[in-house]
Amino acid sequence: MKSSFVHVHLVALRYFGETVRTGSIRQAAEQLNVVPSAVSRQILKLEDQLQCKLFDRMAEGVRLTAAGEVLYHYILRLERDLNSAISQIDDLKGLRRGHVRIACEDGIGRDFLPGILAAFHAEFPRVTYTVEIASSREILHQVAEGLTDIGMAMAPPTRPDVTIAAQMEMPVGIIAHPDNPIAARREVRLADLADQHLIQAEDGIGGDTGYGAHLRASQPDTRLIETNAPDVITNFVESGLGVGIRTPVGVLASLASGRIRFLPLVDPQIKLPALSIFAKPQRTLPVSGAVLQERLKAALPDFRAHVDEVAGLDTDDRSTRRA
């Protein structure tokens, strides 16, 4: 059924709303800087279109009818929505200063975030940021409590009060010094690490891809160094102390320079970690945060392609392949 309201103009609604607020057509005309007959015509037009009276005319002014009350409440909602839209457009145009709070893991902050923030800053130079590097559990806590606008982590534990806004699987494998004989391989299995010195993060640090429990059960003496700082793993591997298991995210510069090599793990029991962007359900982000979140989500596929390229993986040699 076609609504009779479809042809109502904003001018008529504005004149109607001002008449309600002032209580008379004459005072509304003064506020609008028009003649009273112009206000009367717009109100009569509304009444004709809606086929009902909006005001009871009295000597001291006007009083809303039941239909007029319904329309006026609609106008109040419309004004609020319009003001909100204008505010958001102002934010997008850079007319207001926005601030985005981001919590992410160290590797994501090093390899994924900078390029996107640089492009975003060029477009919206008045937006500022807080970037906190934290563990995956702390990131999820901050998202759930509304302490951060955007959370990003690699294969974190799940929480019912946090939703995944977007995610992209990343390759997982070992990083090794180029002089380590294992670096000459194209791919490895966990069994191939039996004679390697393994440098790994403590339990609960970084993403859980399922390899920790398997290694503890099958090769309890493999580990040489365990650390609560995943970034240190790369330094130890570069010094030739051993090999580490991780994704290339966070070590792309070392891979590109040739200081370390990446070999994908192809064991079927290994889950691929996903670079995940998190949101709090039913929470409306500030405009700058919402727009940045969409840019981050859209950038995931290209970032995965970049990771594969730097890690030396092609379409036939990706870690998504399972032997």
Q: Per-domain residue ranges for the chain?
A: 4-92, 99-169+274-309, 173-271
The rounded distance, in Å, linking the Cα atoms of 290 and 275 is 18
Q: Which CATH class is domain 4-92?
A: mainly alpha
| CB-CB neighbours of 223 under 10 Å | 17
Residue 126 host element (H or E): none
| CB-CB neighbours of 198 under 10 Å | 21
Three-state secondary structure along 77-111? Answer: HHHHHHHHHHHHHHHHCCCCCCEEEEEECHHHHHH
The tokens of 170 are what? 């990343």
Q: What is the pLDDT of residue 93?
A: 67
**What is the three-class DSSP state of 47?**
helix
The predicted-structure confidence for 27-68, as pLDDT tens digits, reads as follows 999 988 899 899 999 999 889 888 999 999 888 888 999 999
In a 10 Å sphere around its CB, with 0-12 CB exposed, 13-18 middle and 19+ buried, how is residue 242 labelled? buried
Q: Which of 205, 224, 227 is nearest to 106 (CA)?
A: 205
Contact yes or no for 35/50 (Cβ under 8 A)? no
Residue 162 host element (H or E): none
DSSP single-letter state for residue 178: T
The rounded distance, in Å, linking the Cα atoms of 119 and 199 is 36
- pTM to 2 decimal places: 0.68
| CB-CB neighbours of 124 under 10 Å | 19
Q: What is the pLDDT of residue 6?
A: 43
Q: Which CATH class is domain 99-169+274-309?
A: alpha beta
Residue 64 host element (H or E): strand 61-64
Q: What is the pLDDT of residue 143?
A: 94
The rounded distance, in Å, linking the Cα atoms of 32 and 63 is 19
The rounded distance, in Å, linking the Cα atoms of 227 and 240 is 16
CATH number of 173-271: 3.40.190.10
The pLDDT profile of the chain, 323 residues, written as one tens digit per residue, is 444 444 557 888 889 999 999 999 999 999 888 998 999 999 998 898 889 999 998 888 889 999 999 999 988 888 888 877 776 776 666 656 788 999 999 999 999 999 999 999 998 888 899 999 998 889 999 999 989 999 999 887 888 899 999 999 999 999 999 999 999 999 998 888 888 888 877 654 555 555 655 565 555 555 567 777 777 888 899 998 989 888 999 999 999 999 999 999 888 777 888 999 999 988 888 888 899 999 999 999 999 999 999 999 875 544 444 33
Contact yes or no for 198/191 (Cβ under 8 A)? no
Q: What is the pLDDT of residue 323?
A: 36
Question: Do 99-169+274-309 and 173-271 fold alike per CATH?
Answer: yes
The tokens of 166 are what? 């977007």
Contact yes or no for 59/26 (Cβ under 8 A)? no
Q: Which of 252, 154, 272, 262 is nearest to 211 (CA)?
A: 272
The tokens of 22 are what? 């002032």
